Every structure is written in C-alpha cells, then in structure tokens.
Homo-oligomer: A and B are copies of this chain.
Amino acid sequence: MTDISARLSGPVRVVGAGLLGASVGLGLRARGVDVLLADASPAHLRLAADYGAGRLDDGGAEPSLIVVAVPPDLTGTVVADELAAHPDAVVTDVASVKVAPLSELQAAGVDLARYVGGHPLAGRERGGPSSARADLFIGRPWVVAARPENPRAAVSLVEALILDLGATPVEMDAAEHDAAVALVSHAPQLVSSLMAKRLADSPDAALALAGQGVRDVTRIAASEPELWVQILGANAPAIVEILRAYRDDLDRVLVALGDVDAAGARRTIAEEIAGGNIGVSRLPGKHGQDRKYSRFVVMVEDRPGELARLLHELGDLGVNMEDLRLEHSPGAAFGLADIAVLPEVLHRTVEDLTERGWRITG
C-alpha cells in the first residue's frame, strides 16, 4: 500500500461531512493524516469531528488536497470555490456523476488543471456522519476521471488517496464513467423501482407467493427518493439512452405476448431471455473471474449457531464456499442457505452433508 502522508505538505481538507466525507476523514485519520473538516451544517460538522473524522478547519493550515463530498448538484460550485480559495491544492470530489459538474466548471471558465474528478463505488449512498466507517471504501472500485490537462502529480496524489483508503483506482473519462454508472447503477435502480411499484397495491395473497427472484429484483427499490432524483437528474442523457433501448425490447415482448401464437412471437420472447443470459454472464464474478459455480440449498434451523455449525462442517469437509445466500420461508422455523461451490466438489459435498444429517432441499 502507498503512503499518502509522504506526498502531502499540508493537511487534507474534506468539504461535506456526510457518510462519504466523514468516511474519507476517518480512513485518513486512521493513517495519521491531518484532516480538516468543513460542512454547511454546523451540526453535521461537529458530529463528524466527534466521531474522529478530523478537526474543524480554522484556516490555520493550507491544505494540499481537498476532497469535495457534497451532493452532486452542489459539486461544481463547491469545487470552483475550493480551487479559488486554495490556489496550490489538488481538488477532487466523490460525486456519483462526472459530466454535469465538469461541464458546469468548464462553462464557468474555471482553470481545471488542479481538479481531478473521482467517484468511489461504495455500497451505501446515504446516511450521515454517524454511519461513516474508516473501512467504507475497502475493496471498492474508485473512478478517477483524469483529463489531459491534469499534471501527472495531481492525478497520482488522488490515486494515492484512493489506495490509502483501500479502494482500487479505475481511470475512466467523465463521459465513459457516466455511461457506465447509467448502465450498472442508475438504469437498474429505475427498473427495480418501477417493478416494485407494481407490488404497491397488489393483494396480500399474491405477495405471499413471492420468492427470492422478485425479492432480488426489487431489493434496491428501497432507496431514498430525494437522493436518487438528484443522481438520476444529473445523469439523465446517459440513462435515457439505455432505458429507450430497454423500452424498445419491452415493447417487442408486449407485442409478442399480445399474440403468442403469431409467427415469430415465441422466438422474440426466447431471444430477449437469451439476450439476458448473455448479459448477466458478463458480470465479473468472484476474483473477477467468470467461473460458474454449482449451487445447492440446505435447510438451516432458525436458532443461533446453526448456520455457523453448517459453515464449520463445510470447513471440516475442506469445501471452500464460493457464495452464500440466505432465504427465509415466511412463517417457517428455518431458513434456506443457498451455497455455491466449485462444480467438481458439488456431488461429494451434498453427499457428505446429507450423511451428517443436513437436509438438502435444492
């Protein structure tokens, strides 16, 4: 791991002490970096300082690096202000869209040599400083939207920050980034929300039949509307491009389902589902491989320690579990553990577990 301290002549200033900003502060403090905090809300600011994310910026020290962690629609303005106020600092941000703030800055005629946009793909996008974690970014990709006008030293300072926080820098320009997150985050969010909305006024009896499939499809539909309106609004053109193509496919399916016995109708449906097969198979798996695993389902009594016992026995059997999903049967006194292993050990694992008294249900 790199050590950002060696590259810094002054402190790191974090503007915006929400989940992301406070987590950056905590992560840097854990590595001994001096962190100055700023936030428009004095309450947020003091809370983040209380949690150890840094100290209040009294203006006594000139920062070397500034991390702007404010909502996407404020990012452009705040970046411009920070560049002007700290003429020697490198400025980065963590906004989940990159084109809109950049265009705003370019339109305002700001010199952007010292601005290197960034976006950590960290799980949660909500919560205040009290949800912050020093380890929030560990193992996550963190996009660095470097531009030709950025001096290499500015880019590598931002990359050192990212590496220090345990994340993986991924270089990508602003337009590529926005198209990518539209595809892997924003469009799936809308697709999930719109499907979940169909459940809103459905009969309880129908919902009682819900299995893991609809639960997975709609899980992210629990996201906060206010935040997502901002994210989606800031990346609208890229999202519209994907959703228009999606709607064209949906229309084809609707026509086919409207008359399933028409020539070509079943083929259309099969092609759409086969297209989905190809798409989902392209998502990188564990360790970035595309390796396919075999799955089986074990019944686990719903009492503390049972799942741990199952996993211990898998360990005893020398089986490395590649993935685990827990399903609950509403009303039942047990859960179902859906476990993925390498195909070559599936048969033996299922036999050994059965011998040890576990019930394999799928």
Contacts and interface: CB of A to CB of B under 8 A. Distances in A.
A196 B253 contact: no
B250 A254 contact: no
Q: How large is the interface on A (under 10, 10 to 19, 20 to 34, 35 or more residues)?
A: 35 or more
Contacts of A228: 269-270, 273
A199 interface: yes
Interface stretch (A6-14, A51-59, A103-111, A201-209): A201-209
B323 A328 contact: yes
Number of copies: 2
Contact of A280 (B219, B226, B258): B219
Tell me whether chain A's interface is mostly helix, strand or loop, or mixed: helix
A205 B324 CA distance: 26
Contact of A200 (B190, B278, B332): B278
Interface string A289-312: 000000001010000110110011
A284 B222 contact: no
A162 interface: no
Interface of A: 121-124, 131, 133, 135-141, 143, 168, 170, 172, 176, 179-181, 183-185, 187-200, 202-203, 205-226, 228-229, 232-233, 236, 239-240, 242-247, 249-251, 253-254, 257-258, 260, 265-266, 269-288, 297, 299, 304-305, 307-308, 311-312, 314-315, 318-321, 323-332, 334-336, 338, 359-362
7 contacts: A189-B213, A189-B273, A191-B194, A305-B315, A308-B311, A308-B314, A325-B326
